[in-house]
Amino acid sequence: MTKNFSFEHLLILLCIFFVSPLSLYAAEKKIELSKGQILYVPAYSHIYSGNREKPFLLTVTLSIRNIDPKHQIKITLADYYETQGNLLKKQIDKPITLNPLESLRYVIPERDKSGGSGANFIVEWHSDKFVNPPVVESIMIGTKSQQGISFTSRGQEIFS
């Protein structure tokens, strides 16, 4: 007896072939609780456009979000650096407590081009308990005439 290979069979095989490895990857990539981190957050006070590499100025927002629903975290450092790695501005003078699900932001205005295309933030946070690490990212946005651009960069843990 011969069986016909139907379109439904093909879809099932494709799902097993393509979705299973993704599910395994997602299962392996677990978010680990932490008591603190130092994060490098890429930022761009401008990017280059056109053949002449003309700077396109951007407003930069550093966003720090405590995503733990039960515990507070303490932000101890939020420093802004320029392309050559020189400190431009300390965003905080003393530690700031973020309550569960609370957010914090710092804005570098579009007119401030001192950071350059390789600007970045170093953010350090701590907690007394193991918590979900915060989401720390930079958001860049700019408009000129009828052209607009926006994008984000996510913080990356660094070890010292």
Residue 61 exposed, middle or buried by CB count within 10 Å (0-12, 13-18, 19+): middle
Residue 85 pLDDT grade (very low, low, confident, very high; cuts 50, 70, 90): very high
pLDDT surpasses 80 at 109: yes
pLDDT mean across residues, the chain: 87
- Comparison of pLDDT for 51 and 135, the residue scoring more: 135
pLDDT surpasses 60 at 134: yes
CA distance 8 to 4: 11
Residue 144 pLDDT grade (very low, low, confident, very high; cuts 50, 70, 90): confident
In CATH terms, is domain 32-158 a member of 2.60.290.11? yes
CB distance 45 to 112 below 8 Å: yes
Residues 6+ apart with CB under 8 A from 86: none
pLDDT surpasses 70 at 7: no
Q: Which residue ranges make up each domain of the chain?
A: 32-158
CB distance 111 to 48 below 8 Å: no
